[in-house]
């Protein structure tokens, strides 16, 4: 004898997950290639959003947002923000890069080390004085190099370090 209650419960469970997966698909959060921390991807930079965030077109033709690991660039509406955006655009927009995914942030962006021809873009932005080392989150070995690059940029008064009133973005955001 068939227990209709059990069958109906199984149906409700399956219908729930099918609906949830369908909703995720509609939101662009499912059914595409899944990018995981620890993975390495190549793709073309489609757009530079600000001094520390890009939009990447992966080899599977999926657009994903990637935040550069270990740095914090001035906000677009902050002193130096437009300069930082322009420098990052000049470095990588339209170019093919490699991303080593380290994390996914609270905004569902991938957070990773981005390389162009083997060179760290995070380190380049710091060395050019266009971003701070984001010490609160910078926990990998490369962060030691980032610190050295920042010290040299400060010493040479490059980019944001030319302004003695330069305020880190995390302080700028906190005041808003």
Q: Where are the domains of the chain?
A: 1-29, 40-175
User: What is the C-alpha to C-alpha distance for residues 157 and 133, in angstroms, rounded to an integer?
Assistant: 16
Evaluate if residue 38 carries a pLDDT over 90: no
Question: pLDDT tens for residues 50-93?
Answer: 999 999 999 889 999 999 999 999 988 888 889 999 999 999 99
Average pLDDT, the chain: 83
User: What is the C-alpha to C-alpha distance for residues 124 and 121, in angstroms, rounded to an integer?
Assistant: 5
Is the model more confident about 170 or about 73? 73
Tell me, what's the pLDDT at 152? 97
The encoded tokens of residue 64 equal 């994903």
Beta bridge partners of 65: 55
Range in 8-12, 37-41, 169-173 with the lowest mean pLDDT: 8-12
**Alpha-carbon 118 to chain mean position:** 18
Tell me, what's the pLDDT at 49? 96
The encoded tokens of residue 108 equal 């569902």
75 neighbors 172 (Cβ within 8 angstroms) = yes
CATH class given for the domain over 40-175: mainly beta
User: What is the C-alpha to C-alpha distance for residues 55 and 63, in angstroms, rounded to an integer?
Assistant: 6
The encoded tokens of residue 137 equal 């989150």
Evaluate if residue 167 carries a pLDDT over 60: yes
Q: List residues with catalytic annotation.
A: 67, 75, 109
């Amino acid at each position: 004898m068939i227990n209709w209650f059990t069958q109906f419960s199984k149906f409700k469970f399956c219908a729930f997950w099918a609906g949830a997966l369908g909703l995720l698909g509609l939101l662009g959060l499912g059914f595409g290639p899944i990018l995981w921390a620890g993975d390495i991807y190549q793709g073309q930079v489609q757009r530079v959003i600000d001094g520390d965030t890009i939009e990447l077109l992966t080899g599977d033709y999926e657009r994903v947002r990637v935040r550069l690991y270990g740095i914090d660039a001035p906000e677009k509406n902050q002193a130096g923000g437009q300069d930082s955006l322009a420098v990052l655009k000049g470095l990588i927009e339209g170019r093919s890069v490699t991303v080593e995914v380290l994390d996914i942030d609270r905004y569902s962006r991938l957070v990773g080390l981005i390389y162009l021809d083997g060179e760290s873009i995070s380190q380049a932005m710091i060395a050019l004085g266009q971003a701070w080392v984001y010490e609160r989150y910078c926990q990998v070995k490369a962060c030691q190099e980032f610190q050295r690059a920042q010290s040299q940029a400060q010493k040479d008064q490059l980019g944001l370090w030319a302004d003695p009133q330069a305020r880190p973005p995390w302080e700028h955001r906190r005041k808003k």
